[in-house]
Structure formats: C-alpha cells, structure tokens
Amino acid sequence: MEFWLSRVFGFPRPDLENRWWHRMFNVVAVLSTVCVLSVTIEWAGQQSIPEYVYSFENDFGKYAGKIKKFDEIDKRFINPVFFVLKWRSSGARNEQYVAQLEALAKTDDDILTQIEGVGLLKNVTVKDLKNDFGGLSRLYLLASLATLGFYIFIVQGVYRVIAYIAAGRAE
C-alpha cells in the first residue's frame, strides 16, 4: 500500500531531489494546490447561497423553486440594494414610498427594514431557486477530488516534463 501511495503522490524522479529546481517545484506544487483548494471550496460555498425571486416581480411564475413566506427566509442573504430596486419598480405606489424614504436620506438597509416593519412585505412570497443544500456535501467532495486531481497532475505530469527538460532521461 505504501509503495502504491508513494508512486501516485510522490515525485517520480528521486534521483533529482538535491537539485534546486526540484525543491522549488515542491514549494510551487504545494502552494498551487492550496490555492486550488481554496478556490474550489469558495466555489462550493457560493453554490450554497440562496437565490430569491419575489412574488412582486413580473417573472415570479417563470421560475421553479421552493415557495416560502418572506418572514421565513434568512435576511442575511438579501441584497438590500437589489431588493429595494426590484420592490421600487414593482408599482407606482412602491416607487413613491421609496422616493419619500430616499428624500429622508435613508439607506437601502433602512428602507428594507422600514418596508418590512410597516408590514408591506407580510403577503410577499419568495421562491428559493437554490434549495438543495443537501448537495453541499457533494460539492465539497467534488472540490476535494478536483484538488487531489490537480496535485496528481502537477506532480506526475508537469514535473515529469520539467524533469525531462532539465535533467534528461532517467538513468
């Protein structure tokens, strides 16, 4: 088992371990693998952020998703700027209301809080377009496998090319 693991994850030319470029390649391989791991985990995390469509939007019926009441969703994932813009454009009365609040120098966060506090959003339903959070573990597994594949490609593919160019054929 140890022989198999060292063949897959180890560098293929142990006779070159004392060369400066071999040591530099070790560092580059590890650092680039850590970068790939962080990028793929960030990507997997971005896939878990919910994406909402609100019932006051014109294309609400066009999308499939889990329907919730506005009070049931996690407000941390609402972008106040986009929400206020969408709500404002959904009707003339909403446009006037937001214009009055903006005249009082209210921020989008304050406007969203006030709209919700007054009760204007109690009948709003929301479609959560990304509601498969059970698939998050599969995404993290995919990120890990992609990182592992990248490391094996770097060590077994790219290193062999560099070793052949720098040192020639193995003896």
Number of domains in the chain: 2
100/37 same-domain check: no
Q: Which two tokens stand for residue 11?
A: 């560098």
Domain that holds residue 33: 2-47+134-167
- Shared domain check, 125 and 138: no
Among the residues of the chain, which ranges form H helices? 2-9, 20-47, 80-88, 92-103, 108-118, 136-152, 159-167
Residues 29, 88, single domain; the answer is no
Residue type (1 letter), 143 = A
Least confident of 25-34, 56-65, 110-119, 152-161: 56-65
pLDDT per residue over 100-156, tens digit each?
888 888 888 888 888 888 888 888 888 877 765 556 677 788 888 999 899 888 888
Q: What is the DSSP letter of 67?
A: E
Same domain for 120 and 144? no
d(CA 22, CA 70): 58
Q: 91 and 117 share a domain?
A: yes
Residues 14 and 68 in one domain: no
One domain, residues 139 and 122: no
Q: How far is CA 104 from CA 100, 108, 151, 153, in A?
A: 7, 12, 56, 59
Q: Give the highest mean pLDDT range of 6-15, 30-39, 72-81.
A: 30-39
Same domain, 58 and 120: yes
CB 35 within 8 A of CB 143: no
pLDDT tens by residue, 6-28: 666 666 667 777 778 888 888 88
- Do 125 and 63 belong together in one domain? yes
CA angle in degrees (0–180, nearest 5) for 27-28-30:
65
* pLDDT on residue 69: 84
